[in-house]
Amino acid sequence: MAPRVRSDGRLDTGLVLVCVLLAVFALILPRRTREGFAATLRTTILSPLVALEGRAASVRAAIIARTDVLVTRGQLATQALQVKAVADENVTLRKLLGLSARLQDGFVPAELLPPRGAGDDFTIALATGSDAGVQPFLPVVTADGLVGMVQSVDRATSFAITWAHPDFRVSAMSVDEGAFGIVQPHLGAGAERWLLEMRGVPFRATLQPGTLIVSSGLGATYPRGIPVGTVLGELSTPEKWARTYLVKPSVLPNAIGPVLVLLSARTQRGVNGVWTTVSASDSAARAVAAAGDSLARAAALDELAARRAALDAAADTLADSTLAFVAGGRSTAADSARADSARVRDRADSVARARRRPDSAKPRVTGVPPAPR
């Protein structure tokens, strides 16, 4: 049933007239009377509305102030990020310039293009192609080390797989050439997905954490000496004839920026001495650690020698005191024996002298004449 609509507006009209009359009356009243009447209305009937209006004004001011603070913080954060991004880019470009200066020739610089599809973190698009001499199966590097390999090439663009691609493989070795193996993606879960594995390491070869892994040059794709990563630790595998090590990549995914594509002529000549700074730093770190170990070992040996010398000195002192004590006891006994012998000899001499003089023992008679002859 449709709602009933009032046909007349007598009540509304009456309310409007009353309001108009009150407004005219308020305008006619004197100013003091009008202000007093308004104050009375604000403190009585309209007090809840006045309080609500004050709260609304306070909330509005707080919201405006909070918005200003957030806008200011956002601007500062954006400026800081831009400054950091520019600084990081400058550092990357300086490193890349240093690498290109060491290479001198046989490479093509390339910028990164947006990825082909969403979520494709295993391939990168490069702004260079066959017109610049880029071909499939050429290595892609940065100043930090190996990025991947060119997979397909167009005239002006090319696509390369990174070390995170499931098909990535590189023959690698330790920087001291003590262990060889094949480096491939770890394919773990979570953060371990962005790590590498070095498989097929001979069981007799042991790699310590922090050991630098470089390309070995076996094969026709990657020349010898490109840094691949550093050893994190050994993985437990069912293989008992070989070891598997977990490796941290030298080039992290979020650090891939401008890259260099090594041409085939350069890969054939090799890159010996190009990444010497990385190898030298690793060798220097190992030398410092070895020197520290040597110094610690020498200090320990010196301390042990000092302790042994102290013990030997104490043993010698004790032996000397013991010998002196024994010698002193023997000399006292010998003196006593000599004294006793002397006393015995004195007594024997006295007895012998008494025996040699018997007259001295007889008593003498005085006043008796001698006997006639």
Q: Tens digits of per-residue pLDDT, 313-370?
A: 766 665 565 555 545 544 454 555 565 566 656 665 665 565 555 444 444 444 444 4
Residues facing 183 on adjacent strands: 170, 198
pLDDT score of 315: 63
Q: From the centroid of its chain, how far is CA 222?
A: 30
Determine, yes or no, domain membership for 234.
yes
Residues 6+ apart with CB under 8 A from 95: 142, 143, 144
- What CATH number is associated with residue 214? 2.40.10.350
Residues 266 and 121 in one domain: yes
Determine, yes or no, domain membership for 114.
yes
Residues 281 and 133 in one domain: yes
Neighbours of 228 (CB within 10 A): 25
Angstrom distance (rounded) from CA 250 to CA 230: 7
Regarding predicted confidence, which is higher, 168 or 307? 168
Containing 59, the helix (H) or strand (E) segment is: helix 47-103
Residues 35 and 145 in one domain: no
Determine, yes or no, domain membership for 331.
no
| End-of-domain residue from the set 238, 267, 285 | 285
Q: What sign does the CA torsion over 23, 25, 31, 35 have?
A: negative
Determine, yes or no, domain membership for 17.
no
Residues 211 and 150 in one domain: yes
Residue 226 exposed, middle or buried by CB count within 10 Å (0-12, 13-18, 19+):
buried
Residues 217 and 128 in one domain: yes
Neighbours of 352 (CB within 10 A): 9
Helix/strand number for the chain, H first, E second:
5, 13
Q: Does residue 1 have a pLDDT over 70? A: no
pLDDT score of 360: 43
Pairing of strands 180-185, 170-174: antiparallel
Angstrom distance (rounded) from CA 118 to CA 120: 6
List Cα–Cα distances, 198 to 65, 230, 326, in angstroms.
Answer: 57, 10, 73
| End-of-domain residue from the set 69, 103, 137 | 103
Q: Does residue 173 have a pLDDT over 70? A: yes
Determine, yes or no, domain membership for 19.
no
CB 175 within 8 A of CB 283: yes
Residues 272 and 138 in one domain: yes
Determine, yes or no, domain membership for 232.
yes
| Domain limits for position 281 | 107-285
Structure tokens belonging to residue 129: 């192609």
pLDDT score of 320: 60
Percent of the chain with pLDDT over 90: 19
pLDDT score of 274: 83
Per DSSP (E only), the strands in 65-216 are 107-110, 112-113, 123-126, 139-141, 146-153, 158-162, 170-174, 180-185, 196-202, 212-215
Determine, yes or no, domain membership for 94.
yes
Average pLDDT of the chain to the nearest whole number: 77
Determine, yes or no, domain membership for 291.
no
Q: HSE on the CB side for 100, CA within 13 Å?
A: 14
Q: Which of the residue ranges 23-27, 88-92, 249-253, 282-286 has the most confident prediction, judged by mean pLDDT?
A: 249-253
Q: How confident is the model at residue 195 (pLDDT cuts 50, 70, 90)?
A: very high
Neighbours of 171 (CB within 10 A): 18
What letter does residue 264 receive in the DSSP assignment?
Answer: H
As for how many domains the chain has, the answer is 2
Angstrom distance (rounded) from CA 342 to CA 22: 157
| End-of-domain residue from the set 266, 285, 304 | 285
Comparing 89-103, 187-201, 206-220, 270-284, the range with the smallest average pLDDT is 270-284
Residues 152 and 248 in one domain: yes
Q: How confident is the model at residue 136 (pLDDT cuts 50, 70, 90)?
A: very high
Q: How confident is the model at residue 192 (pLDDT cuts 50, 70, 90)?
A: confident
Residues 166 and 94 in one domain: no
Angstrom distance (rounded) from CA 162 to CA 122: 6
Mean pLDDT of 40-48: 79
Place of tokens 């004195």: 346
Q: Is-above-0.85 flag for pTM? A: no
Residues 55 and 150 in one domain: no
Own/partner pairs, 233-237, CB within 8 angstroms, 24+ separation: 233/209, 234/207, 235/197
Residues 52 and 198 in one domain: no
pLDDT digit string (tens) for 198-235? 999 998 888 999 999 999 988 878 999 899 999 999 98
**Sheet order of strands, 107-110 included:** 107-110, 259-262, 139-141, 146-153, 158-162, 123-126, 112-113
Residues 84 and 144 in one domain: no
Residues 112 and 241 in one domain: yes
pLDDT digit string (tens) for 258-269? 899 999 888 888
Angstrom distance (rounded) from CA 256 to CA 279: 21
- Short-list 248, 230, 247, 259, CA closest to 139: 259
